Amino acid sequence: MKNRSLHVTAHTLAAGLLGLAAMGAFAGEAAAQSAQKPAPAKPAAAAPAAAQQPEPVPGTQWFKVCSKQGDNEICNTQYTLIADTRQLITAVNLIDVKGKVNQKVVQAVVPTGRVIPAGVQLQIDTGKPQTMNYSVCFPDRCIAEAQLTDAMVAAMKKGNAITVTSINFQRQPNPIKITLAGMGKAYDGAAVQQSDLAKRQQELNDALKKQADARRKKFEDAQAQAKAGAADAPAAAAQ
């Protein structure tokens, strides 16, 4: 029984990673860009903290991808929230394995630097939170998973939002809310074709670049204002 459980988990994790391929590509591109660019000059004064916080990219939707792995077909209905810095904020995977193995799994994907024994909580609207144990961590993300029940799927289809809460390294809860709009349609509908997936990835890439550019301009404007304020201070004191 133990070996079968490990076998199933390996398959479900592989399916869960299907939806994170785009995220990994974005992260790799971001790392390459960072390596090519010189470090920015230290500002004369600290910019407002709000300007430095990563923001989620708008327009993210639920969608389903399917893959044939051995004697099993694995479908993953997923929602991945990425910051304009191209870093993972959180993701939810609803995985359905059919074939030689039949199993449904829900996964929550969160950044590293989490308190592992605390697990991850999923809460649909104001319902009772469900705690999921971590199953594996990679250098850039950790995955918690549990059995996906029909009752949970039904609740998600009727719900408005699902909150994913992990505990960060400062032992503070980090709740992230994900919309459930479109979840039912994606879950019951056909899987996204490869051509559509490539188009979706390009659209997300464009949105990431646009929002990152806007965020960078906001930060540069804040730096300029801080420098101007520092330059005006001696003149005001002399008067």
Would you give per-residue pLDDT tens digits along the chain (239 residues)?
443 443 445 444 444 444 444 444 344 444 334 434 444 444 444 333 333 445 555 557 899 999 888 889 999 999 998 887 778 899 999 999 999 989 999 999 999 999 999 999 999 999 999 999 999 999 989 999 999 999 999 999 999 999 999 999 999 999 999 999 999 999 999 998 766 666 666 666 666 666 667 777 888 888 888 887 776 666 555 56
pLDDT value, residue 148: 96
Cβ atoms within 10 A of the Cβ of 211, count? 19
Q: Write down the pTM of the prediction.
A: 0.69
